[in-house]
Amino acid sequence: MASRRDEIIALTERIEALIDDSQTVIGLNNDPLRRRLREAGRRLSAALETPGDTAHRVIYSPLHLATAKIGVDKGIFKLLAEADDATPTAEELA
């Protein structure tokens, strides 16, 4: 009989394999199943979150929106989209 730890390891490997096969995820044309999978992933992530992780997420989440707005206002995303294959350096973006 497999131990709970072995089951968790096997589940982790199956999730990683699913992520590695992006075509399977992209080709999932079943909206209810996709929502169910996404919600299960969200709930699992929340269940695994430590109090420190929660504090970090809550404290820094407003920064994501603020930095995205700065990126739009300063034209950084436009520069990145127009860049050739080479990623611009911080100096070039400044």
Segment 11-37, tens digit of pLDDT: 999 999 988 887 777 777 888 888 898
Q: Please give the Cα distance from 49 to 37 (Å, whole number).
A: 18
Q: Please give the Cα distance from 8 to 5 (Å, whole number).
A: 5
For the record, the structure tokens of 9 come out as: 């390891």
Sequence-separated contacts (24+) of 1-7 with Cβ below 8 Å: none
Q: Residue 31's pLDDT is what?
A: 86
Query: pTM for this structure?
Result: 0.57
For the record, the structure tokens of 77 come out as: 């995303």
pLDDT band at 78 (very low <50, low <70, confident <90, very high): confident
For the record, the structure tokens of 84 come out as: 């050739």
Q: Please give the Cα distance from 57 to 16 (Å, whole number).
A: 23
Q: What are the extents of the domains in the chain?
A: 1-48, 51-94
